[in-house]
Amino acid sequence: MTQQHANTPNADGVIPMPGTEAIVEDYVNHQCPSVDQSDRRVPINLRQSGPTPVEMLISTRVRKSPYWHLSHQAGCWRATVYNRVYHPRGYVRPEDGGSMVEYESLVHDVTLWNVAVERQIQVKGPDALAFVDYVITRNASAIKPMHGKYVILCNEDGGIINDPVLLRVGEDEFWFSISDSDLELWLRGVNLGMGFNVSIGEIDVAPVQIQGPKSEALMVDLIGDDVRHIPYYGLMEAKVGGRDVIISQTGFTGEKGYEIYLMNATQNPDDMWNAVLEAGEKHNLRVIAPAHHRRIAAGILSWGQDMDQETLPFQCNLGYQIPRQKESDYVGRAALERVRSEIDQGRYPFRNILVGMVLGGRPIDDYAPDFWLISGSDAGNPIGYVTSPWYSPELQTNIAMGYVPVEYKDLGTTLKVWLPEQYADTPGAPVDATIVDMPFRASVNPNAREVAKSRGLDASS
């Protein structure tokens, strides 16, 4: 739906589609009733209200990360809130090329991201391994000390409550590098009932990401040749700017990249940050916002956008995270195994499923302010919604993730997507879309779903 038609419904509250017999209702003032979300307690907000030009209030209610002032110095001009922390989401101004300029630095050079919003929740103690094994779906004992793994944690209904990178920094110490939900409170609540001998709490550690093809060369300049030998999801201790850090070969892209976890981050952010800037000068380093356009191409999900606590792993390409054999019990196991059993029998106990799409329209060059609506190929009433759209320069097309009814999930299925007016080919008309496989293009560092697929594991089972 476009802003133009959202503001000009006809007398019946519907919008005629030029050249078709179908109509789409005006969804500005109410939810989209034709998208069946009956399997959710709280439906996704599908009101197509468009951009809302308001100024974000910077207050003491939301935390400023240790790198907040440094991001401001680097030119941050806009931010969002993630894990109740201000999160920079733009450095290059739109008139100077905006996010697509930042993307070019990521795929050709090297970039620095302030990702201190990935708050670090430490679980430490004699029962740390047993506790972690109980709250994640995967086998925690497979994570050796000084290694990590992408994991999910599910509630008792099987819904995904967080999808962190889990770092095992010692035999009895794990860090959850969390996505956008308050995992500490949930972990504490679980342990109140279970009584594991562990301490649980946030620690003063804040990461930055170093992402791009020149990231290894930059890291070698910072800490030496040993960094070349860190395996994917491997960890090492080091110093950057004279400050203690842990380095991991991880990141929110399909590019080569690392994360630097700074110890005592509230005390020493400038030394580490400035050391990275200095070493990065010869590598053409740019400070940028998290590159969602690249993570979409890699098929990497964003919690709160592509999934939430009401989403089952089997709905969003994370079925490979649910082992068919795990000796120990874990939260949500009964529900998840029941769902998988139904899928194995050809039944889907949920209404909508996440798919990848290529779609027409003008290049989508910024964050979507709404969950844009999806119709069937007849351009009739919407049946689904887009969660993560962006333009891929390499594929020279718009790409997106979105939810559609399971009967529309097959590769090659044609759809229509209602883009806002600035991206639509023809104002008031939807663009063509086709369901394709994810990831949309190969990654330098394959993410966990790509690895599972290469090993012949069915990511939906």
pLDDT digits (tens, 9 = 90+) for 137-169: 999 999 999 999 999 999 999 999 999 999 999
Tokens (6 digits) for 137: 């779906």
Element (H, E) at 344: helix 333-344
Across the range 6-18, mean pLDDT stands at 39
> What is the overall mean pLDDT for the chain?
91
pLDDT digits (tens, 9 = 90+) for 424-452: 999 889 999 999 999 998 877 655 555 55
Whether the per-residue pLDDT at 26 is higher than 90: the answer is no
Separation of alpha carbons 356 and 297, rounded Å: 10
| Angle subtended at Cα 261 by Cα 442 and Cα 87, rounded to the nearest 5 degrees | 75
Query: Which superfamily, per CATH, for 1-61+291-311+351-461?
Result: Aminomethyltransferase beta-barrel domains (2.40.30.110)
Q: Closest by alpha carbon to 106, among 254, 260, 279, 305?
A: 254
Q: Where are the beta strands (DSSP E) in 91-226?
A: 111-114, 120-124, 147-150, 153-154, 160-162, 165-170, 173-177, 199-202, 205-211
Cβ pair 312, 339 in contact under 8 A: yes
pLDDT of residue 450: 54
pLDDT digits (tens, 9 = 90+) for 45-57: 999 888 888 898 9
Separation of alpha carbons 247 and 239, rounded Å: 9
DSSP letter for 221, please: H
Whether the per-residue pLDDT at 416 is higher than 70: the answer is yes
pLDDT of residue 451: 57
pLDDT of residue 455: 57
pLDDT of residue 118: 98
Whether the per-residue pLDDT at 254 is higher than 50: the answer is yes
pLDDT digits (tens, 9 = 90+) for 109-127: 999 999 999 999 999 999 9
pLDDT tier at 5, thresholds 50, 70, 90: very low
Biggest distance spanned by C-alpha atoms of the chain? 69
pLDDT digits (tens, 9 = 90+) for 180-215: 999 999 999 999 999 999 999 999 999 999 999 999
What are the residue ranges spanned by the domains of the chain? Answer: 1-61+291-311+351-461
- What pTM did the predictor assign? 0.92
Separation of alpha carbons 416 and 35, rounded Å: 14
Whether the per-residue pLDDT at 1 is higher than 50: the answer is no
Separation of alpha carbons 247 and 208, rounded Å: 10
